[in-house]
Every structure is written in structure tokens, then in C-alpha cells.
């Protein structure tokens, strides 16, 4: 039985589950954009609201967030890049980097990244994949020369593959530990012993899955179900936008 459930739909019945997927997607975009535009205070204010929303919508938020430890590496990279590139007051005398400004900017960038991941987590955990597929299809439909159904189907499949990839990664890590490769000081060996089996596993799995899909008559697109937006959903959408306004004023 798999241990990773992050980015997977989990049945529930809170308000966010009942919100129309198009509006939910729009909220995700507005919140993500805001987080990258807001000041530190604004980001913290909006984060507080997001955390309240997480505790009210997800059944086991702490467990899900723990499963995202795979992202820690990217988080460290973001903070490190900022610490070693932003000029200002050096933290250690005699060394140009890291700087106080770089550390603060790196922490803010890292925090923004964490919040974006949590927003994605709320969206994927509370929205059925076929609803995501239908909403993306509907949003893209007015654009000419865009195969909205194929793009929507690929997006659903990509979301479906995230926990599988994380499972594979965990297995590879454990196999490395069992063979004492984990502690190797050679960074090239460290990276290659993870990426080579991961990529070959993904290619094999994708080949088998595409064949299984073909045998069930998949032809490049999935039929979606249209969802009409109701008045109470617009009200909920507006209520979710309320904290964004004061966040910009801070």
C-alpha cells in the first residue's frame, strides 16, 4: 500500500470541496499571484488566512505537509541562491556573502514557495481530477488553435503521476540506504544513483500506462462534465477574496 497521498484527491464535504472548480482555479491563480507581489507583512497576513483554510478543509493537514519533505531540497536551493546573490551588509566579516538582505530575501522567497505548494495541495486535495479536467477544458475552449481537451487530459494525468513519482523516489532512496550509497560524498554519484533509476522507472511506467489507456479506448482527450456556477458559489468566491485586499494595504 502506498504511503504518499499528497496532491491526491481526498473525499470530503467542507465548503471548499463544494466550490465550483473554475472559481477554485481562479482563486488559486489570484492567491499565487498575490503571494509573489505582496510585501513581507502582506505575505504573512495572507499565509495566516491560508493556514486557517488548510486546517478547516484538509482532513490530515500535518500528515500531508510532512509528506512534502521532497521539496526541502528545492527550498534550500531557493534560499541559498538568494543568500549568495543579493548584496548588502555581510553577515560574517571578511566575506562578501551571505548578506543580511540576502538572508531575508531568501527566507521570503522560500516562504512564498512553501505557500504556493500549500495552495496547490489545497486545490488538488479538494478537487476531483475529472472536475479539474472539465474546468481547464472550459477555460481554454474560447482560445483558437488550442486543443483544450487534450491539454486538460494531460494536466489531469500529470497531477495523477505526482504521488507515483514521489513513491518511486522514496523507494529508490530506501534502496540506496540499504546499499549504503546514501552517505556517499561524491555528488555526481549521489545524483546519478537517484536520477537514473527514477527516469528509467518513469519511462517504463509511462509506456505501460499509455498502453493500458489505449486498451481502454483513450484517444488523446477525455470527455469532461460541465459545471454551472451557482450564486452561493460566487458569494463564497467573493468571501475568499476578502483577505487579499488588506494584504495589499499592509
Partner 1 sequence: MSLLEVRNLKHKFRDGTEALRGVSFKVNSGDFIILAGKNGSGKTVLIRHLNGLYIPSEGEIFFEGKPIHKQIKWVRQNIGMVFQDADSQIVSQTVWNDTAFGPENLRLPKADIEKRVSNALLAVGMMELKDHSPHNLSGGEKRKLAIAGILAMDPRIIILDEPFTNLDYTGIIDILGQIVKLHKSGHTIICVTHEIEKVLYHSNRLIIMDRGLIAEDTLPEKGIFNTHKYGITPPMEEREGIEIVRDMTWLK
Give the interface size with partner 1 as a residue count (CB under 8 A). Answer: 33
| Range 132-171, binding partner 1 (CB under 8 A) | 156-157, 159-160, 163-164, 167
Give the C-alpha separation, 106 to 97, whole Å.
Answer: 13
For residues 163 and 5, the answer to whether their CB atoms sit within 8 Å is yes
> b/e map of 49-81 (b: 16 or more CB within 10 Å)?
bbeebbeebbeebeebbebbeeeeeebeebbee
228 touching partner 1, by CB under 8 A: no
Find the binder of partner 1 among 46, 152, 222, 240 (CB under 8 A): 222
Task: Show the cell assigned to 41.
Answer: 507583512
* Residues in region 196-215 near partner 1 by CB under 8 A: 205, 208-209, 211-215
Q: Which three cell numbers stand for residue 181?
A: 550509497
Pick 8 or 241: Cβ nearer partner 1: 8
166-185 footprint of partner 1 as x/- string (CB under 8 A): -x------------------
Radius of gyration of the chain (CA): 21
Residue ranges that bind partner 1, judged by CB under 8 A = 1-2, 4-5, 8-11, 128-130, 156-157, 159-160, 163-164, 167, 205, 208-209, 211-219, 222-223, 225
Amino acid at each position: 500500500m502506498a504511503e504518499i497521498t499528497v496532491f491526491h484527491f481526498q473525499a470530503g464535504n467542507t465548503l471548499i470541496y463544494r466550490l465550483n472548480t473554475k472559481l477554485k482555479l481562479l482563486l488559486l491563480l489570484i492567491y499565487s499571484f498575490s503571494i509573489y507581489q505582496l510585501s513581507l507583512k502582506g505575505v504573512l497576513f495572507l499565509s495566516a488566512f491560508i493556514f486557517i483554510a488548510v486546517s478547516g478543509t484538509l482532513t490530515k493537514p500535518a500528515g500531508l505537509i510532512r509528506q512534502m519533505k521532497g521539496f526541502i531540497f528545492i527550498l534550500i536551493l531557493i534560499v541559498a541562491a538568494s543568500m549568495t546573490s543579493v548584496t548588502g551588509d555581510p553577515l560574517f566579516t571578511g566575506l562578501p556573502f551571505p548578506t543580511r538582505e540576502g538572508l531575508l530575501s531568501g527566507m521570503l522567497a522560500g516562504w512564498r514557495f512553501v505557500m504556493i505548494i500549500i495552495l496547490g495541495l489545497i486545490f488538488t486535495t479538494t478537487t476531483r481530477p475529472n472536475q479539474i479536467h472539465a474546468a481547464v477544458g472550459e477555460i481554454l475552449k474560447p482560445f483558437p488553435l488550442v486543443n483544450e481537451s487534450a491539454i486538460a487530459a494531460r494536466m489531469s494525468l500529470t497531477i495523477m503521476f505526482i504521488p507515483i513519482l514521489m513513491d518511486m523516489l522514496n523507494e529508490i532512496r530506501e534502496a540506496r540506504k540499504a546499499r549504503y550509497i546514501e552517505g556517499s560524498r561524491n555528488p555526481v554519484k549521489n545524483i546519478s544513483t537517484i536520477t537514473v533509476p527514477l527516469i528509467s522507472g518513469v519511462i517504463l511506467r509511462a509506456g505501460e500506462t499509455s498502453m493500458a489507456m489505449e486498451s481502454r479506448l483513450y484517444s488523446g482527450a477525455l470527455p469532461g462534465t460541465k459545471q454551472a456556477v451557482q450564486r452561493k458559489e460566487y458569494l463564497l468566491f467573493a468571501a475568499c477574496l476578502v483577505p487579499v485586499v488588506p494584504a495589499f494595504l499592509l
